[in-house]
Structure 1
């Protein structure tokens, strides 16, 4: 992005910061433990601090909480120069917090081999984000900037009893700092780095009435020019332009009542994601490019411009610069507007317990363009406009009833409404496309003049319109009891009842729908008809309501003052739903809920006078009816492809997780994590290729004969034929993950302290296909250029390093940092779009920056 645009974007937040005396601090947050704060201001770290978790809906020490949880507090967020949640992947074992790709803020979080990589609101997350206790229903805004954070917690394994539906693989809890009613403070930072990075952040806290009422304002502006060069026009590409404002207030009229109100405003005017080609370009008998057996986009490229086809095909990562070749993207980007309001009330009844209410309303508008064909030709592009609102309400009661019983329970209500309009446009939607491509191929084969003239005559603005309207309502009741059998032995029992309903109207992008009127064609006799309404089109035996009971049983043993042991069984649950991007009435049908039984044992130990901490967890998870999303060929959707979710698989996940933290000498902190994961499908019966006009034969040849069927669409008969694909690996489930880091702080005379910090993460190879798996073997498909197109990411090492000087009284800090020090490059996400094309997103290259921060 140009410097002028960046300055223009910054004027408003800079004015707010100046008036408020803000300047900011990228991750500097209040510590949880007051004694630790005082120790840090006096000198270097001498021991490990107490870590507070809210993994059981009440505050407790993480070392006596029977859950596999990793808490990253404000100081550690600052040290890691965290921007958003993806920067925390290296903090916990068997965890991958990554982007979906293709959409700037969409998250593809996976824990212990299970996760979700779908941006649609019709698909629920399996690792959701909770912000200040509020469930975020969608993946699409989970990677917004973090600002004024107290702590982030990563909970591994099902959390359904206390956190509800869709926490089947785990949960990520984000907690912001509360306003402080006793101290006025101003903190701020400015960060500048390569790729045009300029981030400005500030927080001001004002106690209006001492110990009674305070207000707080946090603001951040973050900008970069993008990590890619667009060869089509020479511009930088993939940049971000974000403004985040978070006002809050707290009112504590007496010792028993606390009221917190938080606001949220996010404005993003980003480039669209930088997609790069990864298409299948097969070879003929002579080892040359074979256009007619390759995917459609490289075929079009060959017909248009001849044998300079390599740039349309998959290539080895690391063998080329960070470049893309998108067609004209002027005026097109990835725009987000988020507005939210959260209220929290805590009322303590002396000698009885605490009543807590958390309520939220959140409204999101998105307008996202994408050039998915990843070429300079106008072949296949999309514009998605999405409107979404959600409201959540939770009322709970927690109490230490006696010396032997602790209780937490409550009720929860959730509702959301979502509407998406998708325009899919380009040459593929011109009614003359087939004939023009045939003429271009003929001219290319016979050596005719300018084969591209036939494709150039097509209208690049030809479009197919699609729409999805989705309503969802859910409620639940829950309770958990800790019964202290003895002073050291505790029995845990919990249960949650969930009930939900969903309704959907959808039509896939197609020319049969009205681009001008912005509506679906509901006439079943219209050629290309693909409208589905759950109120009228659900087939016999299907449903749009689901319910579930999620229990938990556990046993905790405080073996010694330093050693805590636990064992538990938990059942997780993810609700059923509808396919929001299906292509026909038959494939739009609902899919059912999925369940997971998790067995876990753990040990948490602190020793050597709080200088060493060792946590060890073993787990076994059994998944039933796992929901799997697949992009495949379609009988009715625009562009000949559809995205469907089905209860296609059973799976098992088992492994070990180790976390060690130590302060072996004053000022020196060491940490490491290690995860071993054996996660695999035990059953995966699905039609990966999608509806086919070829009869595959008797249904007895299918792994699921009851779901082998045929249907008529557009006057043609299509066949669905599930086959056994259990050999295909789970997505984002590497066998090994390791990370380690250190920070070493030394005095610099009477001026302050100099800290050196660094960390490393290793991840073994893994399947990175965002939506299920592409058609074909995990071994991949050989290209004519010698490269094999495969969804497997090779093993990768990532190193980060930093150096920080902090003044003796912590009033200011100056830092220099480098991320991805060795400039490692790897496939981060792959989307295989049926027979049309494949595209991928890479990780970020090496970045560096200088950050100046203060705290007054």
Structure 2
């Protein structure tokens, strides 16, 4: 692949110099995001009132109870109480929120709010839910589940947030705030956690004033280790372990009362094991006997419902081998994998970054804010995706990614009746990905060998698998993707306090984004030695956005948008706050970084979402009861949906594409209640109800050689077309698809309590427990079988379905705190009932399916100190 425009080496010295110069210049200023929730500082006895909650949802420090945004704040103390390790542990914190893992990769996030989000690991796809760490947007979903360390608060904002944030967020945002250096006092704290599955986590923080009231240094560090939840039956070893080190250094300067400068560093080294993928393939037959020619077409072989990988396993080893790779009922060998390790495995990440934050208050005028960041990520991930002990389909992905961003904001109480926030944002990211996909599937003799093995198995030959053993297990196909993305935006949000607690809010955002891409899917025709694509369009699938965009069809590589917001709020009295709003969210178009042919690499368009929201927030009973109620309706246009389907050109015969496949709608209700009925006893609960639907129109099966007839019969005639690849004509023909939104359960409920019991001069003992319920929901955007969610019945009686069953999860803990909270000892248990369910499903066209289960029962002890 030509490299003239996209150099792998990032321009980090420029970004570093920019952040450093701005950070040390008094002519600029930036805001240090304040904690979103404040616990009772200095409290030594049982809690007597609900904690004050402060939010940064409007980019200025306001009470969450008088902020016209559906926001849930989780303090650092609450995170400790739930023994959270990453953002997945906050799924129960807010209604209609699912913060989960993609599943195929250790750190990759699948975040969904109110039925919408994204579950794609690729940098080519922008996350649907924005994650902001200390005010900086994180472009990589593959690193969103890094370890939590030295957290002051996490806020979950539901709904579009574009008129107040540098990077637009179409369905919601997660704001993570770390502790910042304190120049007034020395502080040191640490924790050690030991638990089952070999868990040993150690973390520490030290805060040192360098110049009294003027400068301070803070360093937090954490080591995370466990043996993994999975057992590899092939060699008897544990599978899916973690081995991580995170270091967060920061320094702060406060030369005067108006200027505040914070410079943060990020250093992460992860040497995790590969993720444990368990089989969930479709295998035809009945009464416990596999039949490779069972009815109900799945797509791998005409006339059967068996995918290719289990067919290979059966041809190689018969019934005993196929029993390992087909779907089983959850709860039976959930954490047993059959993985071939001859080619190595691992999930290695090296991350470093620097952020400069500056705040300058201009008395009687306003506050200037600058946040600048540079972040560099290198990853090298191996996965044995076929879930067998045979070398059929394995991948190794090495990727280099960097991003830099600069955000300027100015907030002002312009007058007694008007205040506003205005800002400008610049963002640039670039990534290069090398993917080697290898195994028997890439050997030129694979088709003949499989046919011979199937014939031998059917005729009772003594060793039908010999033909497959003769294949090269290291046969491979190389693929590469390079993308460059530049975006800028201007935004303003103003409040007009009309009269007697009534406020009119109006906001506007302009966004401009441009992307360029070069890509080729993994294939033996590419040069894996020199790491280059084959540029010959007759044999490869090379795509260059500079020359290959089909402009005649209206395709483009740049997108712009104007997004408004209008709201009205009323602070009725000191206890009751009412609000309503309409906001338009926007996410730019992009390219398919894992397309299978030049003709399916074409860009997809932007999507928009009109969100209507009304809410009521009430505090009463002398600040012992808090009730927040929200209703919403979202009208989604041109929803971007990622699907895995068969392909005409990519290695392995499958491709991942994103398409503007749907218009969708969701509506729902969210209720959050917190009460303190007695001193020291806090009880909370939440309820989310969601009803969603969508008009899903796409080519779910991918390119086919069968002429479907006139395009007028398609649900999207403008995107029905044919093309010639390697001399063969293929057809793309969008049809109506009966697949609901993914990760959009109708009901999400949660409840919990914390009860502090004084034990004299010995301190307090806190008993805490919580419960989370999630109703059934779809896990695969392309369905099973493709296009529907009816599922396929296996020979062993298991229904292979993309529908996750409902589940109840219970957690509990006991914590002793020394009277001044200098020492703590906790015993905890998560998922007490050891409930198992399908946390994520990847249906890889006609090849195979694999899933990851939720974490099993875990327990441990934590010892902490704070001096």
TM-score (norm 2): 0.93
Specify the alignment match of 2:800 in structure 1. 789
Distance apart, 1:721 and its partner CA: 1.0
Specify the alignment match of 2:66 in structure 1. 64
For 1:28-107, list aligned pairs within 5 A: 36-39=40-43, 42-107=44-109
Contact 1:415 1:472 in 2 (8 A): yes
Residues 534-574 of structure 1: CA deviation (Å, up to 9, x unaligned): 00000022100100011000001001111000000000000
- Please point out which of 751, 755, 772 is paired with 1:761: 772
For 1:702-713, list aligned pairs within 5 A: 702-713=714-725
User: Cα distance 1:852–1:408, how it changes in 2: closer, same or farther (>3 A)?
Assistant: same
Contact 2:566 2:581 in 1 (8 A): yes
Contact 1:383 1:424 in 2 (8 A): yes
Specify the alignment match of 1:724 in structure 2. 736
Specify the alignment match of 1:410 in structure 2. 423
Alpha-carbon distance in 2 for matches of 1:243, 1:187: 17
Alpha-carbon distance in 2 for matches of 1:107, 1:517: 32
- Please point out which of 837, 843, 848 is paired with 1:832: 843
- The answer to which of 505-514 and 445-454 deviates more is 445-454
- Please point out which of 841, 846, 859 is paired with 1:848: 859
Q: How many residues align?
A: 821
Alpha-carbon distance in 2 for matches of 1:587, 1:619: 36
Specify the alignment match of 1:578 in structure 2. 591
Contact 1:231 1:324 in 2 (8 A): yes
Specify the alignment match of 1:808 in structure 2. 819
Secondary structure of the corresponding residue to residue 143 of structure 2? coil
**1:448 matched to 2:450:** no
**1:596 matched to 2:577:** no
User: Cα distance 1:703–1:34, how it changes in 2: closer, same or farther (>3 A)?
Assistant: closer
Specify the alignment match of 2:392 in structure 1. 379
Alpha-carbon distance in 2 for matches of 1:774, 1:136: 34
Residues 694-745 of structure 1: CA deviation (Å, up to 9, x unaligned): 11222222112222111100111111111111x3110000000000000001
Specify the alignment match of 1:751 in structure 2. 762
- Please point out which of 238, 253, 256 is paired with 1:254: 256
Distance apart, 1:31 and its partner CA: 7.8
User: Cα distance 1:716–1:35, how it changes in 2: closer, same or farther (>3 A)?
Assistant: closer
Contact 1:628 1:772 in 2 (8 A): no
For 1:351-430, list aligned pairs within 5 A: 351-430=364-443
Specify the alignment match of 2:128 in structure 1. 126
**1:318 matched to 2:339:** no
Secondary structure of the corresponding residue to residue 449 of structure 2? helix
Residues 378-413 of structure 1: CA deviation (Å, up to 9, x unaligned): 000000000000000000100111110111001000
Residues 335-388 of structure 1: CA deviation (Å, up to 9, x unaligned): 000000000000000011000000000000000000010000000000000000
CA RMSD of aligned residues (A): 1.4
Contact 2:514 2:557 in 1 (8 A): yes
User: Cα distance 1:562–1:427, how it changes in 2: closer, same or farther (>3 A)?
Assistant: same
Alpha-carbon distance in 2 for matches of 1:662, 1:329: 56
Alpha-carbon distance in 2 for matches of 1:696, 1:616: 50
Secondary structure of the corresponding residue to residue 804 of structure 1? strand
TM-score (norm 1): 0.95
Specify the alignment match of 2:828 in structure 1. 817
User: Cα distance 1:258–1:537, how it changes in 2: closer, same or farther (>3 A)?
Assistant: same
For 1:187-206, list aligned pairs within 5 A: 187-206=189-208
Alpha-carbon distance in 1 for matches of 2:289, 2:466: 28
Distance apart, 1:330 and its partner CA: 6.8
Alpha-carbon distance in 2 for matches of 1:827, 1:548: 38
Alpha-carbon distance in 2 for matches of 1:243, 1:454: 46
Residues 21-60 of structure 1: CA deviation (Å, up to 9, x unaligned): xxxxxxxxx9878881122xx2011111111111111111
User: Cα distance 1:360–1:232, how it changes in 2: closer, same or farther (>3 A)?
Assistant: same
Specify the alignment match of 2:749 in structure 1. 738
Secondary structure of the corresponding residue to residue 696 of structure 1? coil
Distance apart, 1:163 and its partner CA: 2.0
Specify the alignment match of 2:4 in structure 1. none
Contact 2:775 2:807 in 1 (8 A): yes
Alpha-carbon distance in 2 for matches of 1:559, 1:208: 47
Secondary structure of the corresponding residue to residue 49 of structure 2? coil
Alpha-carbon distance in 2 for matches of 1:35, 1:452: 65
**1:223 matched to 2:225:** yes
Greater than 4 Å deviation, 4+ residue runs:
30-35, 284-288, 770-774
For 1:638-653, list aligned pairs within 5 A: 638-653=651-666
Alpha-carbon distance in 2 for matches of 1:665, 1:203: 34
Alpha-carbon distance in 2 for matches of 1:280, 1:695: 27
Distance apart, 1:776 and its partner CA: 4.2
**1:674 matched to 2:687:** yes
Secondary structure of the corresponding residue to residue 442 of structure 1? helix
Secondary structure of the corresponding residue to residue 78 of structure 1? helix
**1:689 matched to 2:693:** no
Residues 233-275 of structure 1: CA deviation (Å, up to 9, x unaligned): 0000001000000000110000000000000000000001100
Secondary structure of the corresponding residue to residue 298 of structure 1? helix
Specify the alignment match of 2:144 in structure 1. 142
Specify the alignment match of 1:497 in structure 2. 510
Gaps of 5+ in 1: 1-29
For 1:512-591, list aligned pairs within 5 A: 512-525=525-538, 527=539, 529-539=540-550, 540=552, 541-591=554-604
For 1:466-481, list aligned pairs within 5 A: 466-481=479-494
Secondary structure of the corresponding residue to residue 599 of structure 2? coil
Contact 1:131 1:175 in 2 (8 A): yes
- The answer to which of 291-300 and 599-608 deviates more is 291-300
